[in-house]
């Protein structure tokens, strides 16, 4: 029997193998198996279904936008003509602040105006305004409304005297023409001359020309006020990283002042930022415009170590030789002469490059990269002018004066400064947000210093950094010593939470307790804001040795947080060190101090010398694009 069983098994095996070799499908083999073994039920083991993959959500970073510009509107002079035609309506409109729009006369016809008993100046103005029915003046919507409101309430010439431009008008026109001194476009504020020659076939209508001149000058002066005071572009339309309360001009008040003062230039120039940084940038722009172009341009992508070669290296040596001072020539003059034109970065040139790096303020490591090229060769004249104009525009988004005491953080420069009585008292290196987690551009006020702080994990970091680990290892936060609390503030175990159930909005707060491993180090300096950005210490001190320091998740790490804490608290350093011997706690600053978290690729030092730094976030390009968009809207001047 055993022999027969073995023979049966061999036969079945051979038969199945043969069928498989002949290409018979698996189903046929199964049928044969059942015939050989009498059709007995064979239990199949179905494979377990694969679990659905867990989708890990992400919290998206702010985005850069396609800049949108508001369209200009045509000033509706028909409303002004109607108001002057009906003084009763004028009174009502002055009370309500609105202007009624009435039908305009047929093209080519000046509507009849029924005038109240007014003096000759008002009569002349009203007659001139009656000629504006066909005049197309384009302006910003709020400026157009301000013009109509002002001249409805004040029906008289502000810029003309005896039919000619007054001294007030001449001063205003001179300031408008000087717009390029402030990085602005003169064409944005151009006003046709009142005494310009007639075009071919043009019949000069003196009354119409006077009316056009009056309205054009008022409209362009208000545009100048808008641009000089608050900026040409809206920073909040550039990206989600820009967060500003927009500065607006009271146009009605501005026209009232302009109509009453002889110090027109002084008043118009007061609209610009009134701080030393802006003055230094103005001086730099003037010098750039007057200087010759730097003829030697080195590729910003050059990267070279000793032993390497590049045609760009010869250009860099030429710049070093051109800009060398007496000390540099005394030490390296012969080497520079002997190496002129070489493309090979030999070992004997390393001391020269290190000396040039140190002289230019770059890290003297002998490695030639973008920051070394930037420091030694600088930008082209055109690039530097763009950077200065952008910096002047960005300054208009901030208060005209920063305050006697303030903290100024320039993210692009990786530097934080403290000012007291308008004088720089502290300047230190900073580590800022990486390109994918950029530090925002905004202003706030320092309120308190927290010693031995907890680190409350922002939702974006919890979701993007920790959630992928928590899906497979829910107890991870427990093991690394982080505290988790629910919506009621109760401590819960990380391991007890189904982290896949809440998507990108887990209803839990996570924080890291104080200690030597705390990401915030021994203190944080708080100016509470919706971006969860603040200044703090860090255990990663080695990052301050790097030239480019964009490594954080958005907050600003300070090289010397004890000094900054002492400054904002009004303490000396010993008091801070004594406080650090205690435990966790908070110390309020005596008076809230403005803090400006900014981004300038051209910025003056305390001596007024403008330094240029790389655009680590590529933000300048978005500002330039926004300016180009605005230029497109304003260019077809009428």
Interhelix angle for 141-153 vs 77-85, to 10°? 20
8-39 pLDDT tens trace:
544 444 444 544 444 444 445 555 545 555 55
Give the CA distances from residue 596 to residues 247, 396, 446, 537, 566, in Å, rounded to whole numbers and listed in that order: 16, 13, 10, 19, 18
**DSSP at 193:** -
Mean pLDDT of 468-475: 93
Whether residue 361 contacts residue 379, with contact meaning beta carbons closer than 8 Å, is answered with no
Whether 388 maps to a domain, the answer reads: no
| Token pair for 134 | 């066909």
Q: Percentage of the chain surpassing pLDDT 70?
A: 84
Whether 516 maps to a domain, the answer reads: yes
Q: Which long-range contacts (CB under 8 A, 24 or more apart) does 512-519 make?
A: 512/454, 512/455, 512/457, 512/481, 512/482, 512/483, 513/454, 513/481, 513/482, 513/483, 514/452, 514/453, 514/454, 514/583, 514/584, 515/481, 517/481, 518/452, 518/453, 518/454, 518/455, 519/455
Q: Are strands 406-410 and 585-598 parallel, antiparallel or unpaired?
A: parallel
- Residue 195: its pLDDT value, please? 85
Residues 27 and 145 in one domain: no
- Residue 99: its pLDDT value, please? 31
More confident residue, 44 or 539: 539
Distance CA 184, CA 83 (A): 35
Among 101-110, 174-183, 385-394, 496-505, whose mean pLDDT is lowest?
A: 101-110
- Residue 120: its pLDDT value, please? 46
Distance CA 420, CA 567 (A): 9
- Residue 149: its pLDDT value, please? 96
- Whether pLDDT at 574 is above 70: yes
Whether 563 maps to a domain, the answer reads: yes
More confident residue, 466 or 114: 466
Mean pLDDT of 362-391: 89
| Token pair for 404 | 């006697």
Distance CA 449, CA 564 (A): 10
Whichever domain contains 456, its CATH number is: 2.40.440.10
pTM for this prediction: 0.79
Distance CA 132, CA 81 (A): 8
More confident residue, 154 or 119: 154
- Residue 126: its pLDDT value, please? 81
SS (H, E, C) 553-617: CCCEEECCHHHHHHHHHCCCHHHHHHHHCCCCEEEEEEEEEEEEEECCCEEECCCCCEEECCCCC
Distance CA 6, CA 10 (A): 6
Residues 369 and 428 in one domain: no
- Residue 310: its pLDDT value, please? 94
Residues 131 and 259 in one domain: yes
Full DSSP string of 483-534: EEE-TTS-EE-GGGS-TTSSTT--S-EEEEPSSTT-TTTTEEEE---TT---
Whether 427 maps to a domain, the answer reads: yes
Whether 385 maps to a domain, the answer reads: no
Q: Are strands 535-536 and 610-612 parallel, antiparallel or unpaired?
A: unpaired
pLDDT band per the 50, 70, 90 thresholds, residue 313: very high
Q: At which of 280, 302, 336 does a domain end?
A: 280
Residues 347 and 463 in one domain: no
Query: Which residue in 197, 233, 208 sits closest to 136, CA to CA?
Result: 208
- Whether pLDDT at 105 is above 80: no
- Whether pLDDT at 93 is above 50: no
Indicate the number of domains in the chain.
4
- Residue 293: its pLDDT value, please? 63
Q: 569: phi > 0 → left, psi -120 to 50 → alpha, else beta; which?
A: alpha
pLDDT band per the 50, 70, 90 thresholds, residue 79: confident
Residues 209 and 337 in one domain: no
Give the CA distances from residue 395 to residues 70, 179, 220, 257, 275, in Å, rounded to whole numbers and listed in that order: 22, 16, 22, 25, 9
Whether 520 maps to a domain, the answer reads: yes
**DSSP at 437:** S
pLDDT band per the 50, 70, 90 thresholds, residue 275: very high
**In what helix (H) or strand (E) does residue 284 lie, and over which residues does it extend?**
helix 276-290
Mean pLDDT of 364-391: 89
- Residue 295: its pLDDT value, please? 66
Residues 134 and 235 in one domain: yes
Q: 143: phi > 0 → left, psi -120 to 50 → alpha, else beta; which?
A: alpha
Q: Return the number of other C-beta atoms located less than 10 Å from residue 8's C-beta.
A: 12
Whether 549 maps to a domain, the answer reads: yes
Residues 266 and 321 in one domain: no
- Residue 411: its pLDDT value, please? 98
Residues 343 and 446 in one domain: no
- Whether pLDDT at 412 is above 60: yes
- Residue 323: its pLDDT value, please? 82
pLDDT band per the 50, 70, 90 thresholds, residue 379: confident
Query: Which residue in 467, 609, 606, 481 sits closest to 57, CA to CA?
Result: 467
Residues 110 and 31 in one domain: no
Which regions of 256-345 does DSSP assign to beta strands (E)?
A: none
Distance CA 374, CA 276 (A): 25
Q: Provide the domain limits for residue 20.
A: 2-36
Work out the end-to-end distance of the chain between its first and last CA atoms, rounded to an integer number of angstroms. 112
State the Cα torsion 278-280-285-290 to the nearest 10°: 150
Quickly count helices (H) and strands (E) in the chain.
22, 19
Residues 7 and 32 in one domain: yes
431-464 pLDDT tens trace:
999 999 999 999 999 999 999 999 999 999 999 9
What's the sign of the alpha-carbon dihedral 152, 157, 163, 165? negative
Instruction: Please name the residues in contact with 250: beta carbons below 8 A apart, sequence gap of 6 or more.
Output: none
Residues 176 and 268 in one domain: yes
Tell me how long the chain is.
Answer: 638
Q: Are strands 423-433 and 556-558 parallel, antiparallel or unpaired?
A: antiparallel
**In what helix (H) or strand (E) does residue 321 lie, and over which residues does it extend?**
helix 311-323
- Whether pLDDT at 333 is above 60: yes
Residues 344 and 404 in one domain: no
**DSSP at 156:** S
Q: Count Cα atoms within 13 angstroms, Cβ side, for 541.
A: 7
Whether residue 269 contacts residue 232, with contact meaning beta carbons closer than 8 Å, is answered with no
- Residue 47: its pLDDT value, please? 65
Whether 290 maps to a domain, the answer reads: no
Residue owning tokens 């030789």:
321
Mean of the per-residue pLDDT values of the chain: 86
Whether residue 590 contacts residue 570, with contact meaning beta carbons closer than 8 Å, is answered with yes
Q: 31: phi > 0 → left, psi -120 to 50 → alpha, else beta; which?
A: alpha
């Amino acid at each position: 029997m055993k022999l027969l069983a073995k023979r049966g098994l061999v036969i079945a095996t051979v038969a199945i193998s043969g069928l498989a070799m002949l290409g018979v499908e698996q189903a046929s083999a199964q049928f044969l198996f059942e015939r050989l073994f009498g059709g007995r039920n064979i239990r199949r083991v179905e494979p377990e279904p694969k679990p659905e993959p867990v989708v890990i959500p992400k919290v998206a970073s702010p985005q850069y936008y396609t800049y949108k510009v508001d369209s200009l509107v045509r000033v509706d002079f028909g409303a002004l003509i109607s108001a002057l035609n009906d003084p009763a309506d004028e009174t009502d409109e002055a009370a309500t602040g609105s202007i009624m729009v009435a039908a305009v006369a047929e093209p080519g016809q000046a509507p009849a105006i029924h005038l109240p008993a007014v003096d000759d100046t008002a009569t002349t103005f009203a007659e001139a305004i009656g000629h504006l029915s066909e005049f197309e003046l384009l302006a910003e919507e709020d400026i157009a409304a301000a013009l109509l409101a002002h001249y409805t309430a004040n029906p008289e010439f502000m810029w003309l005297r005896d039919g000619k431009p007054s001294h007030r008008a001449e001063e205003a026109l001179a300031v408008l023409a000087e717009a390029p001194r402030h990085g602005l476009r003169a064409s944005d504020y151009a006003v046709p001359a009142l005494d310009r020659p007639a075009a071919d076939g043009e019949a000069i209508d003196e009354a119409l020309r006077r009316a056009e001149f009056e309205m054009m000058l008022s409209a362009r002066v208000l545009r100048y006020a808008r641009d000089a005071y608050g900026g040409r572009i809206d920073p909040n339309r550039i990206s989600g990283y820009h967060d500003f309360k927009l500065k607006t001009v009271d146009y009605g008040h501005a026209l009232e002042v302009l109509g009453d003062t002889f110090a027109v230039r002084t008043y118009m120039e007061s609209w610009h930022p009134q701080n030393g940084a802006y003055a230094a940038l103005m001086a730099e722009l003037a010098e750039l415009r007057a200087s010759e172009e730097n003829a030697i341009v080195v590729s910003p992508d050059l990267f070279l170590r000793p032993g390497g070669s590049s045609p760009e290296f010869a250009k860099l040596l030429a710049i070093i030789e051109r800009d060398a001072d007496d000390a540099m020539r005394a030490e390296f003059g012969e080497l520079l002469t002997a190496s002129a034109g070489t493309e090979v970065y030999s070992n004997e040139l390393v001391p020269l490059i290190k000396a040039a790096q140190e002289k230019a303020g770059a890290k003297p490591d002998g490695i030639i990269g973008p920051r070394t090229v930037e420091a030694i060769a600088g930008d082209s004249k055109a690039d530097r002018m763009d950077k200065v104009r952008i910096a002047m525009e960005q300054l208009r988004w901030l208060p005209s004066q920063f305050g006697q005491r303030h903290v100024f953080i320039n993210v692009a420069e990786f530097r934080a400064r403290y000012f007291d009585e308008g004088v720089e008292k502290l300047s230190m290196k900073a580590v800022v947000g990486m390109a994918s987690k950029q530090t925002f551009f905004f202003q706030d006020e320092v309120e308190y210093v927290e010693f031995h702080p907890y680190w409350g994990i922002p939702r974006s970091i919890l979701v993007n950094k920790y959630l992928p680990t928590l899906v497979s290892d829910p107890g991870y936060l427990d093991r690394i010593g982080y505290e988790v609390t629910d919506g009621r503030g109760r401590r819960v175990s990380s391991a007890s939470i189904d982290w896949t159930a809440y998507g990108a909005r887990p209803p839990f707060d996570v924080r890291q307790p104080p200690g030597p491993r705390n990401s915030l180090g021994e203190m944080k300096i708080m100016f509470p804001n919706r971006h969860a950005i603040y200044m703090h210490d860090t255990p990663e001190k080695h990052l301050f040795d790097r030239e480019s320091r964009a490594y954080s998740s958005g907050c600003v790490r300070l090289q010397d947080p004890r000094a900054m804490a002492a400054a904002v608290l009004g303490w000396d350093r010993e008091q801070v060190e004594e406080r650090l011997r205690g435990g966790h706690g908070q110390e309020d600053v005596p008076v809230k101090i403005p803090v400006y978290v900014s981004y300038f690729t051209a910025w003056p030092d305390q001596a007024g010398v403008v330094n240029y730094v790389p655009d680590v976030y590529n933000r300048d390009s978005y500002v330039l694009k926004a300016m180009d968009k605005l230029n497109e809207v304003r260019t077809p001047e009428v």
